[in-house]
Amino acid sequence: MKSELLKLLCRNARYTNEELAAMLNSTPEAVAEEIRALEKEGVICGYKAVIDWDRLDDAYVSAIVELNVVPKADLGFEEVAEKVMSFREVESVYLMSGVYDLNVVVKGPTLQDVARFVARELATIDSVTSTTTHFVMRRYKEMDTNLYDVNEDDRGQFLL
């Protein structure tokens, strides 16, 4: 049940335990128990809404920043990753294969705020040797959710 349950929660974390139980052919109690266990194990780390901020006046700007880093002898990339993570402007941090090391998603109220943050806070970290910043121009899909063109149901009302 575990992986099916997680897939459903990824789709919509607000299904009730009763709804989940019906879909999984289980009981609400068993579902509640499984969710508690997954939370405790740290498999489920949180529940958040998928928001299309562009529909609001207080939209924000986000950028993907590629960092090249000189890893520390015994700490590898962990030390710099921890430093980068600690900023509230940083939404996610990934260690990457390929031509750069850390992929950092940064958000801020305006383009200038983000640019300033990268220049002042990320570029100045000791082991960071270079940064490349790509601003997001439009969000089409976020966390598996289509933000772009919510498909209208174009099915005819036939009596079939």
Partner 1 sequence: MIDYEKVLNPTVCAIKPSGIRKFFDIAATMDDVVSLGVGEPDFQTPWQIRKAGIASLERGRTRYTSNQGLLPLREEIAAYVKRHYELNYRPDTEILLTVGGSEAIDAAIRALVSYGHADEVIIPQPSYVCYEPITELAGGVPVIIETKAENDFKLTPEQLRAAITPRTKALILPYPCNPTGAIMEKADLEAIAAVLRETNIIVISDEIYAELSFGENRHISIASLDGMQERTIVINGFSKAFSMTGWRLGYACGPAPLLKQITKIHQFAIMCAPTTSQYAAIEALRNGDDAVDSMRKEYNRRRRLIVNGFRKLGLACHEPKGAFYVFPSIQSTGMSSDVFCERLLKEARVALVPGTAFGRGGDGFVRASYCYSNEHIIEALARIQKFLNHL
**Interface residue list for partner 1 (CB under 8 A):** 8, 11-12, 15, 18-19, 21-25, 153, 155-160
Smallest separation (angstroms) from partner 1 to the CB of 51 = 16
Q: Is 125 exposed, middle or buried (0-12, 13-18, 19+ CB in 10 A)?
A: middle
Residue 73 or 160 with smaller CB distance to partner 1: 160
Shortest CB 147 distance to partner 1, Å: 16
- Which C-beta is closer to partner 1: that of 49 or that of 160? 160
Q: How far is 27 from 105, CA to CA, in rounded Å? A: 39
CB of 140 to partner 1, least distance (A): 17
What are the DSSP E strand ranges found in 101-148?
Answer: 102-108, 128-135, 141-142, 145-146
Residue 90 buriedness (CB in 10 A; 0-12 / 13-18 / 19+): middle
Decide whether 25 or 97 has the Cβ nearer to partner 1: 25
Least distance (Å) between residue 25 CB and partner 1: 6
Question: Do the Cβ atoms of 122 and 84 come closer than 8 Å?
Answer: yes
